[in-house]
Amino acid sequence: MLPSGLMVRTPPEHRLDYDPVSLKLLSCTGWSEATLAVECRFLTRQASLQGGRSGEFFWTFPPPRYSVVLDLISRTTL
């Protein structure tokens, strides 16, 4: 979803607060600025540990390893 769609269509009670230049979400109902910062650090670490990438505004994770997925499937079908 484009940031403008989220910014325009979100009900006012959600209290989304954005940086006016970067459009980065700073806080919203249920997520303080500090809590969002902690979560961003967590995602950055998880992406790094799993061989993914991260930047200031994004996190990518590699696809699951098929051997792990097949192992999980075989365990649930027995």
The whole-model pTM stands at: 0.68
Average pLDDT of span 5-20: 88
Domain count, the chain: 1
d(CA 31, CA 44): 18
Give the residue numbers spanning the domain of 35.
3-77
d(CA 46, CA 32): 21
Rounded percentage of the chain residues whose pLDDT exceeds 90: 53
Indicate the average pLDDT of the chain: 86
Per-residue pLDDT at 67 exceeds 70: no
d(CA 69, CA 65): 6
Per-residue pLDDT tens over the stretch 36-61: 999 999 999 999 999 999 998 899 99
